[in-house]
Amino acid sequence: MKKKELEILLQKIPSYEKPKPNLEQYLTPANIAADIIFLAHQLGDIENKSVLDLGCGTGIFSVGMFITGAKKVTGVDIDRKSVEIARKYAKKNNFEIEYYVQDVHNIKMKCDTIIMNPPFGAQKSNIKADRAFIEKGFKIAQVLYSLHLSKTVFFIEKLILSLGGRITYSKEYIFPIKWMYTFHEKKIMKYDVTLLRIETNKK
C-alpha cells in the first residue's frame, strides 16, 4: 500500500463528537498519522507485531496499524465515548481491533510496538501528561513512536535517557488544530511537534 492510499483511508476515521478540553482530544491529521505508520511499517515495527495505540481516541493509529499488517492490535483510552466510536467503526469495517477503556497508569498488557499521540500538556491539568505515557511505554513495549511539542523534546530526551532508552529517529511536523474550544483564539492553531522513535531496550 502506498502512503497516500493509507492517508485516504485514515481520513475516514470519525472524529470526536464532543471533544473534552481537559483530555486534549485532538484528532491526529491523517497525513501525519499515515506518515508515522508508513515509517513504522518500513522499519519492521508493525507487520506481524503486537501493537498498541495508547491514548487511542477514535482509533486512527490502531486502524492504520491493522491495515498495514499488525498481528494483534489494541487501542486504549480513558474516555469511554471515544472508545465507543472506535469500536463502532472497527466493527463496521470488520477490523479485528480490541479497544479498552483504561487509565494509562493501570495498563499491564505487553506488546512489541506502541504508536501514540499523548496529551501535549498544553492545559494546566495535563502538564507533563506525556511523560506518563512514555514511562508506561517503557514498561510494556520494545519500541515507541510518540509525538510531542517540539519545545518539550529536550526534557523528553532527558527522561528517555534516565529510563535507559535511546532515540533512533526523529521528525518534525506542523500540527494544525482547528477551532474547537472557546479558549482558542484562531480558526486554526499550528503547533511545532516532533515524532520520536524510541527503543526501550526491553526484551
198 pLDDT higher than 80:
yes
pLDDT recorded at residue 2: 93
pLDDT tens-place string over residues 103-128: 999 999 999 999 999 987 654 445 57
pLDDT tens-place string over residues 18-66: 756 555 667 899 999 999 999 999 999 999 999 999 999 999 999 999 9
167, burial (CB in 10 Å: exposed 0-12, middle 13-18, buried 19+): middle
85 pLDDT higher than 70:
yes
The class that CATH gives domain 28-199 is alpha beta
pLDDT recorded at residue 23: 55
Is the pLDDT higher at 177 or at 86?
A: 86
pLDDT recorded at residue 88: 97
77 pLDDT higher than 50:
yes
Phi and psi at 53, nearest 5°, equal: -100, 100
pLDDT recorded at residue 129: 77
Is the pLDDT higher at 199 or at 178?
A: 199
pLDDT recorded at residue 183: 47
Distance in angstroms (rounded) separating the CA atoms of residues 56 and 86: 8
Query: Which DSSP string do the residues of 182-198 spell out, in sequence order?
Result: TT--SSEEEEEEEEEEE
pLDDT recorded at residue 19: 58
Domain ranges of the chain: 28-199
pLDDT tens-place string over residues 141-194: 999 999 999 999 999 999 999 999 999 999 999 998 765 555 445 567 888 999
Q: Which three three-digit cell numbers place residue 125?
A: 491539568
Sheet holding 188-199, edge to edge: 97-101, 72-77, 50-54, 113-116, 143-149, 188-199, 166-178
Distance in angstroms (rounded) separating the CA atoms of residues 78 and 140: 18
Angle formed at CA 157 by CA 153 and CA 158, multiple of 5 degrees: 120
Quote the percentage of the chain above a pLDDT of 70. Answer: 86
The dihedral built from the CA positions of residue 193, 199, 200 and 203, taken in this order, carries a sign that is positive
**Residue 190's beta-bridge partner residues?**
176
Q: Which three three-digit cell numbers place residue 24?
A: 486534549
The dihedral built from the CA positions of residue 61, 66, 68 and 70, taken in this order, carries a sign that is positive
Q: Which three three-digit cell numbers place residue 167?
A: 532515540
